A and B are shown apart, each in its own frame.
Chain A
Amino acid sequence: GAVVSQHPSWVICKSGTSVKIECRSLDFQATTMFWYRQFPKQSLMLMATSNEGSKATYEQGVEKDKFLINHASLTLSTLTVTSAHPEDSSFYICSARIAGVDTQYFGPGTRLTVL
């Protein structure tokens, strides 16, 4: 149980285009989802916290207009990287949390490469 999926698993795009990444909780309802970014050989850095039906809360230094987060249902959150640039190339990972349970369940990640 507690499976989280991400789509796509990898994506290559041209500089200036937008990319949408989906995060789904497959067998549970996630009241809260989190988006992380991980650069090679580094740790996970939290980008934003997304609660179903409300605006996402972004961490300091993360541009909310560049990284658009939508959490329209209890099983789906999306991250859109707008006007992507090569420096946005990274491994994006989402996690989901059930209300009242501390454990976060992580997705498999999405590798974004911006040319």
Chain B
Amino acid sequence: GESVGLHLPTLSVQEGDNSIINCAYSNSASDYFIWYKQESGKGPQFIIDIRSNMDKRQGQRVTVLLNKTVKHLSLQIAATQPGDSAVYFCAENQGAGGTSYGKLTFGQGTILTVHP
């Protein structure tokens, strides 16, 4: 089946820098994308989402960019803080209708380490 993948498995940044985490997806039918943050020993925490009819969405210190032409998703974190250190996963919803509705496919994850 199709899957979501990440370009960089690890990312180290200095506190205060901006972080960019990338994700490639291959399922052109996906219409909804989500970024999750997972700290060690915990469940994923919703960060931000975006639908396929948008190319950019901003939250508090985070921005998600969607490029459907090249099937690429990115998460930008502004002024990265030590508390942002975690594993970040992108996930795609495989589209409405049928048995796939609501199912998420997760990417492999990127470990973000923020140095004080």
Contact = CB atoms under 8 A, between A and B. Distances in A.
A46 B99 CA distance: 14
Given A49-B99, A91-B41, 11 more contacts: A4-B43, A6-B43, A34-B102, A43-B109, A45-B106, A49-B102, A95-B44, A102-B49, A103-B34, A104-B102, A106-B45
Interface of B: 32, 34, 36, 41-46, 49, 89, 93, 99, 102-109
Contact of A57 (B41, B99, B106, B109): B99
Give the interface SS of chain A, mostly helix, strand, loop or mixed.
strand
Contacts of A97: 102
A43 B89 contact: yes
Contacts of A109: 41-43
B113 to A, nearest CB: 14
Contacts of B45: 106
A42 B106 CA distance: 10
B102 A102 contact: yes
Contacts of B99: 49, 57
A111 interface: yes
A99 to B, nearest CB: 10
Interface residues on A, range: 20 to 34
A45 B43 CA distance: 13
Contact of A46 (B32, B104, B108): B104
Contact of B107 (A6, A43, A104, A105): A43
B106 A32 contact: no
A43 B108 contact: yes
Contact of A43 (B41, B42, B93, B106): B106
Interface in A13-56: 32, 34, 42-46, 49
A39 B42 CA distance: 13
Contacts of A8: none
Contact of B41 (A34, A42, A107, A111): A111
Given A43-B109, A46-B103, A102-B102, A107 B43 contact: yes
Interface in A72-115: 91, 93, 95, 97, 102-109, 111
20 contacts: A34-B103, A43-B106, A43-B107, A46-B103, A46-B104, A46-B105, A49-B102, A49-B103, A93-B43, A93-B44, A102-B32, A102-B49, A102-B93, A104-B102, A106-B43, A106-B46, A107-B43, A108-B42, A108-B43, A109-B42
